Amino acid sequence: MRFPAIENFVDGQPAGNSCERITVYSPLDGSALSTIPRSTATEVADAVSAASKAFPDWASRTPRQRAEVLFRYRSLLLQHQDELAELIHVENGKTLDEARAEIVRAIEVTEFACALPQMFAGEVLEVSPGVECRVDHVPLGVVASITPFNFPCMVPNWTIPIAIALGNAMLLKPSESVPLTAHRTAELLREAGLPHGIFSVIHGDRVTVEAICDAPQIKAITFVGSTAVAKQVYRRATGQLKRALCLGGAKNHLIVLPDAHLEQTAANVVASMAGCAGQRCMAAASMVAVGDVDRIVQRVIEIANSLVPGETLGPVISVAARERIVRYINEAEKAGARVLVDGRIRKGVGSEHGFYLGATVIDYVTPDMAIAQDEIFGPVLVILRARNVDEAIGIENSSPYGNAAAVYTQNGAIAKYIGQRASSGMIGVNIGVPVPLEPFGFGGWNESKFGVGDITGKSSVYFWTQSKKTTSRWNTEIRQGWMGH
């Protein structure tokens, strides 16, 4: 094993236990990296108990005092960027540049959390002579965040800084494929001065997640992962009367019009499709080619061909994921689609055993094919042909998902027409990965999200707090009025 065994991180330190162990492998070369515990309800209860004890003191601190810890955490993320990027690279497989980029996003969310004392100062209004109403955003208590493998640093940090800055105590259940970054995150938060118990990491899989959903003291849960599991977690958590926000999978459509800028569009489409080996919920899955855009398709092919697995393109997360993706490509080809760039035949440079798949471009895919409907989650772009803009919108609208959609054109009116009709929560105009930055929130529609509001940005503040409304009268004079005197 390249790393020592990873334990849960509870009450400010690694917590030994006698759980069954899960082995973690590196997608870069298939080697065993470490092991983690498959935590059960007992380990979850221990973390909840430490969090419950730590919560009252943390919640009673001023927002500014809490933000001071987050300021130090931000500096530590910056200071340890290279070390964290290496951990992400090794456990997730993405390139070092991609790993650094996700740390930058974690830093940006942390900066938003640092600004919360100024942005959410509460509201007060004199509603009647001498009578004022005041609203405070009060933390919920112990909360939990369940995260996927594809962004070991960014996705946990969509929730950690904001929930903690608002006064909650958080349990993180990272993906069992990427526990190293989560463990280091806990160490950095401790180094930043976060009191013990306010942030815990509980490793495991389905059993662990179910124990989190069922733990009575956990008040709110966010989940990010596949749609099938998002639905299960949403049902189970809300069935236990918890607040839940569950983000699921995606199938994003990029609608390309004949007047689109050739070089920018082709480069952007490929970057969206192949970045992080296509394992992004914001990745381009389908390019909807409207009319004659063959010059752009030609350039997409050239750029996709230039990507080198093992150098500019990371592996996918597991052997099983690679096999599943290849099955989809084989089936599409059998059904009559044309594989223009074939990633199945590419090997990873420098690694025989890595889970590599080259960038793949498949043209003349039809909407009824499984590869056009299902989330593939690999470096695969399918091209669907549409005769006009409304047909392209129809293709986008028929997807059960609704994370992101983008349009490539130089015509503002058409971009607006498509943006207004796309059935997705995040729209790009000449941008293939339209991630809204703070203070805007991240969140899709339809089967890409269950629950109200977005996971980051302003609306996340309402998710992680409850509002307390206080009505006070400060004048001593007795008055008749709506208060009934």
Distance of CA 361 to the CA centre of its chain: 25
- The full length of the chain comes to 485
Smallest gap, in angstroms, from Cβ of residue 341 to ligand NAD? 23
374 contacts ligand NAD (rule: CB under 6 A): no
Nearer to ligand NAD, 154 or 389 (CB): 154
Among 225, 379, 441, 457, binds ligand NAD (CB under 6 A): 225
149 contacts ligand NAD (rule: CB under 6 A): yes
43 contacts ligand NAD (rule: CB under 6 A): no
Q: From 432, 465, 429, 426, select the one nearest 449 (Cα to Cα).
A: 426
Q: From 6, 13, 26, select the one nearest 355 (Cα to Cα).
A: 26
Q: Report CA-CA distances (Å) from 457 to 162, 170, 223, 245, 443.
A: 9, 18, 16, 14, 10
206 contacts ligand NAD (rule: CB under 6 A): yes
Beta bridge partners of 86: none
Among 51, 281, 313, 376, binds ligand NAD (CB under 6 A): 281
212 contacts ligand NAD (rule: CB under 6 A): no
Phi, psi of 312 (to 5 degrees): -100, 0
173 contacts ligand NAD (rule: CB under 6 A): yes
Sheet with 284-290, edge to edge strand ranges: 338-341, 360-363, 380-386, 284-290, 252-256, 404-408, 426-429
Nearer to ligand NAD, 209 or 362 (CB): 209
Please give the full DSSP string across 312-377, using - where no structure is assigned: TBPPPS-HHHHHHHHHHHHHHHHTT-EEEE-GGG---TT-SSS-----EEEES--TTSHHHHS---
Sheet with 131-139, edge to edge strand ranges: 123-128, 131-139, 465-473
Nearer to ligand NAD, 289 or 376 (CB): 376
Q: What span, in angstroms and rounded, lies between the C-alpha atoms of 274 and 268? A: 10
Smallest gap, in angstroms, from Cβ of residue 281 to ligand NAD? 3
180 contacts ligand NAD (rule: CB under 6 A): no
20 contacts ligand NAD (rule: CB under 6 A): no
Among 85, 116, 186, 224, binds ligand NAD (CB under 6 A): 224
Among 205, 259, 333, 342, binds ligand NAD (CB under 6 A): 205
- Which residue stretch of 134-142, 183-191, 225-233, 358-366 sits at the interface with ligand NAD (rule: CB under 6 A)? 225-233
- The three-state secondary structure class of 223 is strand
Among 156, 432, 444, 457, binds ligand NAD (CB under 6 A): 444
Among 26, 39, 150, 159, binds ligand NAD (CB under 6 A): 150
Q: Is 281 assigned a catalytic role?
A: yes
Q: What span, in angstroms and rounded, lies between the C-alpha atoms of 235 and 37? A: 26
459 contacts ligand NAD (rule: CB under 6 A): no
Q: From 229, 76, 243, select the one nearest 159 (Cα to Cα).
A: 243
Q: What span, in angstroms and rounded, lies between the C-alpha atoms of 75 and 110? A: 10
Beta bridge partners of 362: 339, 382
Among 87, 90, 140, 146, binds ligand NAD (CB under 6 A): 146
Contacts (CB under 6 A) with ligand NAD, residues 226-265 = 226, 229, 232-233, 247-250
Nearer to ligand NAD, 111 or 374 (CB): 374
Q: From 9, 43, 35, select the one nearest 211 (Cα to Cα).
A: 43
Mask for 386-405, x = binds ligand NAD (CB under 6 A): -----------------x--
433 contacts ligand NAD (rule: CB under 6 A): no
Number of helices (H) and strands (E) in the chain: give both, helices first. 16, 20
Smallest gap, in angstroms, from Cβ of residue 228 to ligand NAD? 7
Smallest gap, in angstroms, from Cβ of residue 320 to ligand NAD? 10
Nearer to ligand NAD, 409 or 448 (CB): 448
Contacts (CB under 6 A) with ligand NAD, residues 82-121 = none
Residue nearest to ligand NAD (CB): 225
Number of residues that bind ligand NAD (CB under 6 A): 28
Q: Which residues touch 328 (CB under 8 Å, ≥6 apart)? A: 370, 371, 374, 376, 380
Nearer to ligand NAD, 74 or 173 (CB): 173
Q: Which helix (H) or strand (E) holds 434?
A: none
Residues 213, 246, 276, 281: which is the catalytic one?
Answer: 281
Residues annotated as catalytic (active site), given as ranges: 281
Kindly list the residues in this chain that would bind ligand NAD in the complex (CB under 6 A). 146-150, 155, 173, 175-176, 205-206, 209, 224-226, 229, 232-233, 247-250, 281, 375, 377, 403, 444, 448
